[in-house]
Amino acid sequence: MVAAVTALGLAIGLGACSPEPARIDIGVDQVDGALPSDLTDQMQTLTETAMTAVGASGAIVSVSVPWSGQWVAGVGTSGEGGPKVDPAMTFKAVNVTRAMTCDVLYALVEKGTVALDDSIAEYVDSYPAESDITLGELCDSTSGLHGYLGAIFERVLATPERTWNPRELVAYGLGQPRAFEPGARFAESDTGYVLLGIVLERAANTPLNELFDEYVFQPLGMTSSSLPAGVGGGDRLKGSYLASGEDGKADCSAPTDMTDLTSSVGAAAAGAVSSVADLSTYVRALAVGARPYDVEQRLADARPVADSQPTWFTAKGGTYQGDSLVGQYGSLPGYMVAAFADRETGMSVVVVLNDSRASSNVARLLAWQLAALASKAPAADGRTAPELGLPWTVESLGEELAGYAICGE
């Protein structure tokens, strides 16, 4: 216990022991069976195309369609020349961690421990210049704080085994001028989420990994998930990063093994470790609002992601919303991950690719391609397929995804 607190770099007291939370039924009536083979063949092809585009040797995919069936598959190998990918392998859940950190925030709001409009300064006095930023703005990524990963990226690649103090990560972000005034607009900030994690630990007087266990993992039975300071347990999918060749482009023939990158690099912004089974359960619970603290306010009045993006692509509450889909996506050296679920039906898609050199938009676009196919899945016997129309097609997203390709012909 003391080691966990030390690893987090916070001198806080330990929370009192409490009984394990009751298991939550997410309320999605899933058909127990496989999706039609012609559909999964198309999904396999799309996955392999994305893998080729980014130089990934392996991928894990989970597609769950409540009225039709499921497809859970390991594709390729765990590292170049490695064993076949097992769908049960664990990996860094990267930016899905941000939604989980916001889960803890909303759980503590529901408990009365904090409020969304509380100032950072009410819980930590180490950041007086940021006293005008609220906890809700940290969660919504409207704080205006610059990210930290770019400032330490080369050191992360050089010494992946290093354990980082979350306060050190925040310092790198705060050492740069704000991008805008708090609340003005949306812009992803890993600094903001790590800072939120520090605040929540202090407010609850409990290490963040224990808060994740209490409010996120245990209630949903996510037994393969954790928020470690190190690399996490389980049979891990090997992750890689493509270094640059002499021409400055990605050297797709020489991946660098980043499997042992410590989760401390991502902390409350990208440090969780999970599996596709756990993330499918998680993102469904998030989308359908299955937990006591899942309030409508969290996802309401979402901000546009960017002026260049469609108006249905928005963000709020530590999540992205693509029309009716809710989830997160992103990357950390070694992996790119996307996890989305439909708010009305609970249809879910989770993908992980084991290379991170290319834009993490590849993982999002692949997930949305799979969702487009899944939304048209035929109903199983005794079921009725809903009218679920998404504002994109497999083909339109395929053209966009091809623009991010860094490997292949």
Residue 103's pLDDT band, with cuts at 50, 70 and 90, is very high
Question: Could you give the CA distance from residue 342 to residue 64 in angstroms, rounded to a whole number?
Answer: 11
- Model pLDDT for residues 269-327, shown as the tens digit of each residue: 999 999 999 999 999 999 999 999 999 999 999 999 999 999 999 999 999 999 999 99
Predicted pLDDT of residue 408 = 81
In degrees, rounded to 5, the angle at the alpha carbon of residue 282 between the alpha carbons of residues 148 and 374 is 105
Cβ atoms 143, 181 nearer than 8 A: no
Predicted pLDDT of residue 13 = 37
Closest CA to 212 of 274, 127, 166, 287: 274
Closest CA to 243 of 170, 324, 121, 333: 333
Q: Which run of H or of E encompasses 304?
A: strand 303-304
Question: Could you give the CA distance from residue 234 to residue 13 in angstroms, rounded to a whole number?
Answer: 29
Residue 18's pLDDT band, with cuts at 50, 70 and 90, is low
Residue 11's pLDDT band, with cuts at 50, 70 and 90, is very low
Predicted pLDDT of residue 19 = 63
Domain boundaries, the chain: 2-402
Residue 260's pLDDT band, with cuts at 50, 70 and 90, is very high
- Model pLDDT for residues 205-250, shown as the tens digit of each residue: 999 999 999 999 999 999 999 999 999 888 999 999 999 988 889 9
Question: Could you give the CA distance from residue 196 to residue 191 in angstroms, rounded to a whole number?
Answer: 9
Q: Return phi, psi of residue 176, to 5°.
A: -110, 150
Q: Return phi, psi of residue 283, to 5°.
A: -70, -30
Q: What is the mean pLDDT of residues 329-339?
A: 98
| Mean pLDDT, the chain, integer | 94
- Model pLDDT for residues 372-404, shown as the tens digit of each residue: 999 999 999 999 999 888 999 999 999 999 999
Question: Could you give the CA distance from residue 20 to residue 18 in angstroms, rounded to a whole number?
Answer: 6
Other beta carbons within 10 angstroms of residue 11's beta carbon come to: 7
The single-letter code of the amino acid at 305 is V
Q: Which run of H or of E encompasses 371?
A: helix 361-374
Predicted pLDDT of residue 15 = 41
Predicted pLDDT of residue 366 = 98
Cβ atoms 263, 236 nearer than 8 A: no
| Total-model pTM | 0.94
Residue 17's pLDDT band, with cuts at 50, 70 and 90, is low
Cβ atoms 224, 218 nearer than 8 A: no
Identify the burial level of 399 via C-beta atoms within 10 angstroms of its C-beta, where 0-12 means exposed, 13-18 middle and 19 or more buried.
Answer: exposed
Integer angstrom CA distances of residue 210 from 77, 101, 226:
33, 12, 9
Question: Could you give the CA distance from residue 311 to residue 305 in angstroms, rounded to a whole number?
Answer: 8
Q: Is 20's pLDDT higher than 90?
A: no
The torsion defined by the Cα of 365, 367, 372 and 376, in degrees rounded to 10, comes to 170
Predicted pLDDT of residue 175 = 95
Closest CA to 312 of 323, 301, 320, 302: 323
The pair of structure tokens assigned to 150 is 């770019």
Q: What is the mean pLDDT of residues 28-33?
A: 96
Q: Is the dihedral of CA 365, 386, 380, 27 positive or negative?
A: positive
Q: What is the mean pLDDT of residues 142-166?
A: 97
* Beta bridge partners of residue 342, listed in sequence order: 325
Buried b (16+ CB within 10 A) or exposed e, 60-73: bbbbbbbbbbbbbb
The torsion defined by the Cα of 161, 83, 33 and 217, in degrees rounded to 10, comes to -10
The DSSP-derived string for 247-298 is TSSEEEEEEEE-TT--GGGTHHHH--EE-HHHHHHHHHHHHHT-STT--GGG
Question: Could you give the CA distance from residue 157 to residue 333 in angstroms, rounded to a whole number?
Answer: 8
* Beta bridge partners of residue 133, listed in sequence order: none
Predicted pLDDT of residue 22 = 81
Give the architecture (CATH level 2) of 2-402: 3-Layer(aba) Sandwich (3.40)
